[in-house]
Amino acid sequence: MMNIGIVGLGLIGGSVGLDLRTLGYRIFGVSRREQTCQKAIALGVVDEASPELSLLSTADLIFICTPICDIIPTLEKLIPFLSPSAILTDVGSVKIPIVEEASQIWPNFVGGHPMAGKTESGIEIAQLGLFEDRPYVLTPNENTPLESVKKVEAIARLLKSQVYFCEPYEHDRAVAWVSHLPVMASASLIAACMSESNLAIVKLAQELASSGFQDTSRVGGGNPELGRMMAEYNRLEILRSLHSFRDEIDKFIQHIEQKNWQSLEQKLKHTQQNRKLFLPHEN
Ligand code: NAP
């Protein structure tokens, strides 16, 4: 059985560790803070943990689960400690800025993105089964060793994920629509609600907010560092999707200003149908 290494013991790294350790793999974890390493051991996420990357010298497969901006620098620092056959993979929410550079530094690199998350971040909320029935995208290129791709794919399937293969640019454009745009749209909703000038109304609205608000505000209330990095590292695609979103909002405004109720209802009929195309398993 392979030795698994994980760098960045937070929500995603911790959840990968919990699942794979439960399956019997030996897990070596590295995180920035000693305190997090201790917590990871106490929570049963890893067998051994340290802030030193040298801990990973016997790892066969290493998941880099740091914030996006630290993925490439971590990979560079890892090189001196790696066994020559080690496979590296990452879990970053964007792929173009990672995959090209990473494969040049370490050809045995398989870009990845497990598409599961939670509102909170950090090791304390790592969860068994987080990736079950969720998409797991892999973005190998023509030079990635096939055997390594197969090994990472097999691990993703052990996490019970649904595995998809695509090009990094396809990934970044698709997730701009269904992951990165929703964060900004949902954050805008929360900000707009807070812009109500009558404080008594704001307070009442906060008390009346129920399942509709809970669903639509969830991703806007998530990890701010992650949201910033989605925008920073997938800037052009997220801008493209946000401009289109603004156009759609303008259309709603127009329909309502012009009391064009039939067109509005027609549009909502389409969105009601089309939502099912994105979430077929929920309908
Ligand atoms: P997170 O909960 O904040 O975990 C990241 C952890 O990495 C931190 O808790 C931090 O722990 C550690 N860390 C930070 N810098 C480090 C460094 N230079 N070296 C080693 N450890 C470092 O964030 P996350 O949500 O798990 O996200 C991690 C990655 O997963 C990101 O690349 C993100 O794009 C990707 N991702 C996130 C989601 C999501 O919805 N959350 C979904 C899919 C993929 P200490 O400082 O305490 O040691």
Residues 65-92: pLDDT tens digits? Answer: 999 999 999 999 999 999 999 999 999 9
Q: Which two tokens stand for residue 192?
A: 């707009």
Non-local CB neighbours of 22 within 8 Å, separated by 6+ positions: 128
Distance CA 164, CA 282 (A): 19
- pLDDT, residue 168, reads 98
Instruction: Give the CATH number of domain 3-166; options: 3.30.390.30, 3.30.1360.120, 3.40.50.300, 3.40.50.720.
Output: 3.40.50.720
* Closest residue to atom 8 of ligand 1, CA basis: 10
174-189 pLDDT, tens digit per residue, is: 999 999 999 999 999 9
Distance from the alpha carbon of residue 150 to the mean position of ligand 1, in angstroms: 25
Judged on CB neighbours under 10 Å (0-12, 13-18, 19+), 218 is middle
Nearest 5°: CA angle at 100, between 174 and 8? 80
Dihedrals φ, ψ of 122, to 5°? Answer: 100, 160
Is 273's pLDDT higher than 90? yes
Residue 193 pairs in a beta bridge with none
Evaluate whether 3-166 and 170-278 have a shared fold. Answer: no
Smallest CA-to-CA distance from 121 within 29, 13, 228 is with: 13
Distance from the alpha carbon of residue 283 to the mean position of ligand 1, in angstroms: 32
Report, as an integer, the average pLDDT of 99-112. 97
Distance CA 243, CA 264 (A): 20
Let me know if domain 170-278 sits in CATH 1.10.3660.10: yes
Q: What is the pTM of this model?
A: 0.96
Is 283's pLDDT higher than 70? no
Task: Determine if ligand 1 sits within 6 Å of the CB of residue 170.
Answer: no
Smallest CA-to-CA distance from 7 within 27, 23, 21, 25 is with: 27
Give residue 206's Cα distance to chain centre: 29
Distance CA 277, CA 118 (A): 23
Hey, what long-range contacts does 90-93 have (CB within 8 A, 24 or more apart)? 90/63, 90/64, 90/65, 91/12, 91/13, 91/16, 91/63, 91/64, 91/65, 92/64, 92/68, 92/233, 93/68, 93/175, 93/179, 93/180, 93/226, 93/229, 93/230, 93/234
Concatenating the DSSP letter of every residue in 13-56 gives HHHHHHHHHHTT-EEEEE-SSHHHHHHHHHTTS-SEEES-GGGG
- pLDDT, residue 280, reads 80
Question: Which residue among 31, 119, 229 has the greatest number of ligand 1 atoms within 8 angstroms of its CB, and so is best to mutate?
Answer: 31
Distance CA 95, CA 112 (A): 8
Is 281's pLDDT higher than 90? no
Is 9's pLDDT higher than 60? yes
The mean pLDDT value of the chain amounts to: 97
Task: Determine if ligand 1 sits within 6 Å of the CB of residue 114.
Answer: yes
Report, as an integer, the average pLDDT of 194-222. 97
Task: Determine if ligand 1 sits within 6 Å of the CB of residue 94.
Answer: no
Distance from the alpha carbon of residue 128 to the mean position of ligand 1, in angstroms: 17
- pLDDT, residue 132, reads 97
Report, as an integer, the average pLDDT of 258-266. 98
Domain residue ranges in the chain: 3-166, 170-278
Distance CA 178, CA 190 (A): 18
Residue 165, number of CB atoms within 10 A of its CB: 12
